[in-house]
Amino acid sequence: MTQQRYRVTPGAALGGVLEVPGDKSISHRALLLNALARGRAEVTGILEGEDCLATRRALQAMGVAIQRQAAGHYRITGVGRQGFSAPAGPLDFGNSGTGLRLMAGIVAAQRFDTVLTGDESLRQRPMNRIAEPLNQMGARVDTTAGCPPVTTTGGRTLKAIRYAQPVASAQVKSAILLAALNASGRTHIRAPGPSRDHTERLLQAMGAPLVCEGDAVSLEGPADLNALDIDVPGDFSSAAFFLVAGCLAAPNGLAINNVGLNPSRTGLLAILELMGAKIRVQRRRMAGGEPVADLQATQGPLRGATIPADLVPLAIDEFPIVFAAAAVAEGVTHVAGAAELRHKESDRIRVMAEGLRRLGVRVEERPDGASIYGGGLTAGEVDSAGDHRVAMAFAVAALVADGPVDIHNTANVATSFPGFDALARSAGFQIEVGSD
């Protein structure tokens, strides 16, 4: 792949009204759960980023008919929870931990063997967290030294388990729930804290006997799903970049419409409020079983904050942009209890700390977080380490740097936010895309 870079020149005044692409977590689930269901579903607003396209290809490789009707509009004909056919080769999930981990819960209960793999980043991410519970259910899931490639052995009979997650993870919870659809008995999952609940919402809407109680969830299997038409809302985690961009550089406000506001995802709103940001949430409504609203962010000074521990899991994908906001705020921002950031598409604590330091920011790194000393950024060059959210976070921070910032290794922005640079330009960013 040709390497791509961004050059962002500061000083832009942002404004206007925009919409971000569909929610990545919900798009994966809309595809996977409707594939497991019986019947035909029309899903609109699907994110056409590399991650979700990889999930679509993997399902198609196992005999699921998924037809693109229009941009973001797919017709999925479910095969039923046992109706998949053996793929001809390994299933490649690219950069996507969600795709691989959720699919593991599905294929662990099929009659055939599979190999699940991905790109260099995904092949370094921890997979024992799914292998252990799935194997307790009677599956045979093997990892490669704890990482992908992951292999599943077909023809196993799954049984329900009671499982206490050592770390709250929506991907692990979802993998277990999807396996539980094919297991006999009530599977019970307890977590040490919250994680996103899109799987639970969709399973319930599709007729699964699922019960949520605080941070615990249980499902009685075996259970069939009914196909469900879904209108996927805009991704809060993509809107996050434009929210902070508006706070930094939109004197008359920047509006982002139709954004999913699932409460397990919106910790950034509370964090930005603590930092003194001017954000308005308007036209709250429901769409596709999820809360949705229109957002507006207006330029104003940000101040450093100590991020409360209970907001960390609710903002887990937003820490690259939180670090960026902290770097340009007045005062110090302290992040703790966020060790999971080291297991995302990159080690986000290390990569953000290194990049910010290259732009003149003082950062003290700790195993589970960092202290970021605000005050602004210099011009310079940073490497995103191939992490989409790191690349976009630096593009936003660069709006208020004291000269141009080159961000290297940005091609993976297309995994979650195809067209980011064009949308950013339409909002007023001075962003050029080049090749390295």
The catalytic residue positions are 317
| Residue number, 4 or 171, with CB nearest to ligand S3P | 171
Q: Smallest distance from the beta carbon of 402 to ligand S3P, in angstroms?
A: 32
Q: Smallest distance from the beta carbon of 161 to ligand S3P, in angstroms?
A: 18
Q: Mark 70-92 as b/e (b = at least 16 C-beta within 10 Å).
A: eebebebbbbebeebeebeebbb
170 binds ligand S3P per the rule CB under 6 A: yes
| Residue number, 175 or 382, with CB nearest to ligand S3P | 175
Q: Smallest distance from the beta carbon of 316 to ligand S3P, in angstroms?
A: 5
Binding segment for ligand S3P (CB under 6 A), chosen from 167-175, 215-223, 283-291, 363-371, is 167-175
Q: Is the Cβ–Cβ distance between 311 and 263 less than 8 Å?
A: no
Q: How far apart are CA 420 and CA 172, in angstroms?
A: 29
235 binds ligand S3P per the rule CB under 6 A: no
**155 burial via Cβ count (<10 Å: 0-12, 13-18, 19+):** exposed
Binding segment for ligand S3P (CB under 6 A), chosen from 48-56, 80-88, 164-172, 268-276, is 164-172
Q: Smallest distance from the beta carbon of 155 to ligand S3P, in angstroms?
A: 28
Phi, psi (degrees; rounded to nearest 5) at 319: -65, -30
Binding segment for ligand S3P (CB under 6 A), chosen from 163-171, 263-271, 296-304, 318-326, is 163-171
| Residue number, 47 or 316, with CB nearest to ligand S3P | 316
Which residue stretches of 42-118 are H helix? Answer: 50-61, 97-107
Among 98, 121, 143, 238, binds ligand S3P (CB under 6 A): 98
Q: Which tokens belong to 62?
A: 């196992």
316 binds ligand S3P per the rule CB under 6 A: yes
348 binds ligand S3P per the rule CB under 6 A: no
| Residue number, 170 or 392, with CB nearest to ligand S3P | 170
Single-letter code of the amino acid located at 73: H
Interface map 20-39 toward ligand S3P (x if CB under 6 A): -----x--------------
| Residue number, 25 or 409, with CB nearest to ligand S3P | 25
**CA torsion 205→211→217→220, rounded to 10°?**
-90
| Residue number, 171 or 299, with CB nearest to ligand S3P | 171
Q: Which tokens belong to 281?
A: 């949430």
Q: Are strands 38-44 and 230-231 parallel, antiparallel or unpaired?
A: parallel
Helix (H) or strand (E) holding 373: strand 369-373
Q: How far apart are CA 52 and CA 60, in angstroms?
A: 12
| Residue number, 92 or 317, with CB nearest to ligand S3P | 317
412 binds ligand S3P per the rule CB under 6 A: no
Interface map 190-229 toward ligand S3P (x if CB under 6 A): -----xx---------------------------------
DSSP assignment of 3-58, as one string?
Answer: -EEEEE-S-----EEEEPPBPHHHHHHHHHHHHHSEEEEEEES---SHHHHHHHHH
Kindly list the distances between the CA atom of residue 17 and the CA atoms of 7, 296, 325, in Å, as whole numbers in the listed order.
Answer: 23, 9, 21
Q: Are strands 230-231 and 254-260 parallel, antiparallel or unpaired?
A: unpaired
Binding segment for ligand S3P (CB under 6 A), chosen from 68-76, 168-176, 297-305, 398-406, is 168-176
317 binds ligand S3P per the rule CB under 6 A: yes
Q: Which tokens belong to 355?
A: 């990049």
- DSSP 8-class letter at 232: P
CA end-to-end span of the chain: 11
Task: Give the interface size with ligand S3P as a residue count (CB under 6 A).
Answer: 12
Q: Smallest distance from the beta carbon of 399 to ligand S3P, in angstroms?
A: 24
Q: Smallest distance from the beta carbon of 196 to ligand S3P, in angstroms?
A: 6
Q: Which residues bind ligand S3P (CB under 6 A)?
A: 25, 98, 169-172, 174, 195-196, 316-317, 340
